[in-house]
Amino acid sequence: MSGHNRLEIIGNLGRPAELRYTQGGKAVLGFSVASTRKSGGNEYTTWVDVSIWGKRAESLAKLELDKGTKVFVAGPASVDTYEKQGGEVVARLKLTAFDLVLLGGGRRGESRGNGQRQQRAQGGDNGYHAPPPNPDDFPPDDFGDDDIPF
């Protein structure tokens, strides 16, 4: 039985998207996404390094993917670990995005095309094309760590 690896995240770009090319000439669009949640009066931010490959990367590089842009991204995730010079082990969450939706609301809530502008990039037809979740459909996290039974 094969597994299923798909991470879906809604957040804001932490830096502008940057288009690069591999030595073999393949396009790679890279950016980071920060997703922040509140729980018990505290804020927790998860950073994800996102990459989009090929012709989709070149097409999306033409859009305004600036720091602060709100996006939905989905695709397989992986974790890279490495050791810093001082011996500290660092882990980075990475996602190869097959789905990208611009959700509008750039930096400081500025509108991008009155919130109606969406761009979706899908790769391969794997039979699963879920619409992006609406963050307003989920209740707030009003519980603390002591409320979780495990």
Task: Judge whether 59 lies within some domain.
Answer: yes
Q: What is the CATH number of the domain that holds 35?
A: 2.40.50.140
Q: What is the pLDDT of residue 115?
A: 37
Residue 11 forms part of a structural domain: yes
Q: What is the mean pLDDT of residues 48-71?
A: 92
Tokens of 55: 């012709």
Domain that holds residue 71: 7-139
* Cα–Cα distance measured from residue 100 to residue 97, given in angstroms and rounded to the nearest whole number: 7
* pLDDT, tens only, 97-135: 999 999 875 554 443 443 333 444 444 444 344 555 555
Mean pLDDT of 49-58: 94
Q: Encode 117-132: b = buried (16+ Cβ within 10 Å), e = exposed.
A: eeeebebeeeeeeeeb
User: Does residue 134 sit within a domain?
Assistant: yes
* Spatial separation of the C-alpha atoms in residues 150 and 32, rounded to whole Å: 31
End-to-end CA separation in angstroms for the chain: 28
Asked if residue 26 is part of any domain, the answer here is yes
Number of domains in the chain: 1
Flag whether 121 is in a domain: yes
Residue 80 belongs to a domain: yes
- 2 inside domain: no
Q: Is residue 1 part of a domain?
A: no
Give residue 54's pLDDT. Answer: 93
Q: pTM of the predicted model, to two decimals? A: 0.68
Query: Phi and psi (nearest 5°) for 107?
Result: -55, 140
